Structure 1
Amino acid sequence: MEQEKLDIIYKDQHIIAINKPSGLLVHKSPIDKHETRYAMKILRNQIGQWVYPVHRLDKPTSGLLLFALSPEIAKNLGEQFTNNSVRKMYIAVVRGHTPLGGIIRHPIKETAMFKHQKKLVEQRAPQDALTLFRQLATTERPYSIDRYPSTRYSLIAAYPKTGRTHQIRKHLKHISHPIIGDAKHGKGNLNRAFSEHHDSHRLLLASVALTFLHPVTNKCIHLKAPLQDDFKKTLNSLGWDEHYIPNWVPNITPNLK
């Protein structure tokens, strides 16, 4: 049986970045304890070396995923993510026509992974969370959902300035523009209709760019990852293509105080 391989975007002797496909866990998770495929294991077998995750992407989210190749490098990169000094850009397809751009500042409450943690997590205050977004394109499709005679969608770039769990998904739901294909934070009837009309069966959220300081050289590393074929196919069905996607990440670091 041929060994599964992941698309490597960048590698040196200290770090490695992959383009994670939608539907793949980053590592073992108690939330999905029966799943045996996860990126950390596949990549370790692929390169014959232990890898250390320094951040995570939700299972249904695709795109750039960064690993360290030693504990020391993992500590440095992990601190960069914790300090919100890593610049990140995501692409998403959402319900409705969004504003041309905006800032979503809405606290996010932690999620308990185990039943015994539930009471403790519920007692904790929500944490500050900040996401910037920019509208890239809009469309209106001639089919009805709910009381509307047609259905509108937007393609956006999202720039999370903090790293809370499901932050982009929760923030876009908060402003009534949920991500298409989001089974947890979206609208079921909208997701079903979109799947039927556009043959899309995934969360339409992808991490497409990361900018950070290399832990050893201290040089600025800017990584970009292409969208998966299924994501590109869906964009084409909406009349869009990758030319709508910016190839830069703005250097915006708002004051969170």
Structure 2
Amino acid sequence: MLEVIYQDQHLIAINKPAGWLVHRSWLDRHETRFVMQTVRDQIGQHVFPVHRLDKPTSGALLMALSSEVACLLAQQFEHHTIEKKYHAIVRGYVNQADIINYALTEEKDKIADKYTSKISQPQPSITHYSPLAKVECPIEIGRYPTSRFSLLALRPITGRKHQLRRHMAHIRHPIIGDTTYGDLRQNRGVSHHFASSRLMLHASYLSFKHPMTGDKLQLIAKSDDAWMHLLSQFGWLGIVPELERQHLSMV
């Protein structure tokens, strides 16, 4: 059963687990777990997607309970009036807050876009980031005798595909566990020394105007056991208390 973080007669938000597809896709034919179908069966009602999270990303996922509400929410996403916040653990020390303003070209899928000849143009892409904590561990990964990591809050202004993962790789602070844009050596080292192999990117916060009532909603998705496990090992418990669960089943 998926964790519901908000529900009323118009919309529902769940805490998406890492490793789940939002909806069924022929590009991943062997996958058996899908958020939309599971939520539909869980509440006994059809749901309408209004945005998506990558399969390895966890956190707040918003869905509408009617096509009308889905359209209104989609407009808010399109006009960038929905505030989104993520948390990530990245390689290296990030010492100060900054803005990444780096255009991204739409990535083509090797299968779905195999016969597409149109060349995509770079699209404006903006991400705000700020460091929350950093740690140096006496563990050799790569050519250095110690390893450094930072905990970041990320706020994407635009919503390009894989934007946060690509932007963090662009500034040479790839997100831990990112098998596409990340540092393979770092990923293997963290998996071996800290028993953590998932993408350390969590959609922690959504703030938006309710499309029917006009009320402001602020939704928080708590971190999972894998996040809590790594936060504990890095000595970061208490840094973002609103995301932490009371009990650790992996520590």
- TM category, shorter: over 0.9
Q: Deviations over 1:118-149 (max 9, x none)?
A: 46476110111100001000000111122211
Contact 1:31 1:113 (C-alpha < 8 Å) held by counterparts = no
Shift of 1:167: 0.5
Q: TM-score, normalised by structure 1?
A: 0.91
Aligned to 2:247: none
1:244 to 239, 246, 249: 239
Aligned to 1:255: none
Distance 1:65 1:132 in 2: 20
Aligned to 2:85: 89
Structure 1 range deviating more: 26-35 or 154-163 = 26-35
Aligned to 2:143: 147
Are residues 43 and 116 of structure 1, via their aligned partners in 2, closer, same or farther at CA, if it must alter by over 3 Å?
closer
Distance 1:247 1:226 in 2: 7
Distance 1:240 1:63 in 2: 19
Are residues 1:73 and 2:33 paired?
Answer: no
Aligned to 1:173: 169
Are residues 121 and 9 of structure 1, via their aligned partners in 2, closer, same or farther at CA, if it must alter by over 3 Å?
farther
User: Structure 2 counterpart of 1:156, which letter?
Assistant: L
Contact 2:222 2:242 (C-alpha < 8 Å) held by counterparts = no
Distance 1:24 1:172 in 2: 23
Q: TM-score, normalised by structure 2?
A: 0.93
1:102-251 counterparts in 2 under 5 A?
Answer: 102-113=98-109, 115=111, 117-118=113-114, 120=116, 123-241=119-237, 243-245=238-240
Q: Unmatched 5+ residue regions in structure 2? A: 244-251
SS of corresponding position for 1:244: coil
Aligned to 2:97: 101
Distance 2:26 2:105 in 1: 19
Q: Unmatched 5+ residue regions in structure 1? A: 249-257
How many residues in Structure 1 have an aligned counterpart in Structure 2?
243
Are residues 122 and 140 of structure 1, via their aligned partners in 2, closer, same or farther at CA, if it must alter by over 3 Å?
farther
Are residues 88 and 69 of structure 1, via their aligned partners in 2, closer, same or farther at CA, if it must alter by over 3 Å?
same
1:29 to 25, 40, 55: 25
Aligned to 1:63: 59
**C-alpha RMSD over aligned residues:** 1.6
